[in-house]
């Protein structure tokens, strides 16, 4: 089967795109037009009832939630993370879930505080989230120095792609907020990870497909995609 990736530029779908391209899996893309709020349409919610991006259509039905899609691809096709019998499997899973359950939701709340709290309290929420993210990224950076092959190692996979995206977005979003709290240079192991990811063919494909520029992870700039919009 050729997978169908429902995507928007510079959304979490880019992580799935990288995994598919890195593993050489057949897929086609279907733009979710955020400018017209297509993610909230009945047709899209029939695939993903939460109205979030990405969704991946598979022989087992549509999959959503970034971490779940990544783990399914890794287990289904191999080469994207340690196999269930690999001694590194436990460490891989806990850090993949840390990215999916802690870092990613914090970024979503930081970018869209109006979805979670009333306007008078949004500045306080953002400040608290910035502190939590600083601590979370520092923790991940410490792990990256000793993680072996499956984060910042010799076998790039879904955890690397997830980390690179999570490190891209704070440098760019939200549009109207102070971003001085975040500096990739303060995370040397993760900075090295981003530099290595930028050398991969899957990143070159991503740059062309979504207009992310020459240094999408080490020195991000706003996307200029050939179709669709990031927000």
pLDDT digits (tens, 9 = 90+) for 177-211: 788 999 999 999 999 999 999 999 999 999 999 99
Query: Quick check: 86 pLDDT over 70?
Result: yes
The confidence score (pLDDT) of residue 84 equals: 93
The confidence score (pLDDT) of residue 150 equals: 77
**Selected residue with higher pLDDT from 29 and 150:** 29
The model's pLDDT over 151-179, given as tens digits with 9 standing for 90+, comes to: 877 789 999 999 999 999 999 998 877 88
The confidence score (pLDDT) of residue 132 equals: 98
In terms of pTM, does the model score above 0.85?
A: yes
Can you give the chain as a three-state secondary structure string?
CCEEEEECCCCCHHHHHHHHHHHCCCEEEEECCHHHCHHHCHHHHHHCCCCCCCEEEECCEEEECHHHHHHHHHHHHCCCCCCCCCCCHHHHHHHHHHHHHHHHHHHHHHHCHHHCCCHHHHHHHHHHHHHHHHHHHHHHHHHHCCCCCCCCCCCCCHHHHHHHHHHHHHHCCCCCCCCCCCCHHHCHHHHHHHHHHCCCHHHHHHHHHHCCCCCCCCCCCCCCCCCCCCC
The confidence score (pLDDT) of residue 145 equals: 85
Q: Average of pLDDT values for 54-59?
A: 98
Query: Quick check: 147 pLDDT over 70?
Result: no
């Amino acid at each position: 089967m050729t997978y169908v990736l429902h995507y928007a530029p510079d959304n979490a779908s880019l992580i799935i795109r990288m995994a598919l391209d890195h593993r050489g899996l057949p897929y086609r893309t279907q733009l979710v037009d955020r400018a017209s709020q297509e993610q909230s349409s009945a047709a899209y919610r029939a695939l993903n009832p939460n109205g979030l991006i990405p969704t991946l259509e598979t022989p087992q039905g549509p999959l959503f939630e970034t971490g779940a899609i990544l783990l399914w691809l890794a287990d289904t096709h191999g080469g994207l993370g340690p196999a269930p019998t690999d001694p590194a499997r436990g460490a891989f899973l806990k850090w993949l879930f840390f990215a999916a359950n802690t870092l990613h939701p914090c970024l979503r709340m930081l970018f869209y505080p109006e979805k979670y709290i009333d306007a008078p309290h949004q500045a306080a929420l953002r400040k608290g989230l910035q502190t939590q993210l600083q601590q979370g990224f520092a923790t991940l950076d410490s792990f990256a120095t000793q993680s072996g092959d499956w984060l910042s190692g010799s076998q790039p996979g879904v955890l690397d792609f997830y980390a690179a995206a999570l490190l891209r977005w704070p440098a760019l979003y939200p549009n109207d907020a102070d971003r001085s709290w975040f500096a990739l240079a303060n995370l040397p192991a993760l900075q090295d990870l981003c530099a290595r990811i930028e050398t991969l063919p899957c990143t070159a494909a991503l740059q062309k497909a979504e207009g992310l520029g020459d240094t999408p992870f080490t020195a991000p700039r706003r996307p200029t995609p050939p179709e669709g919009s990031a927000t």
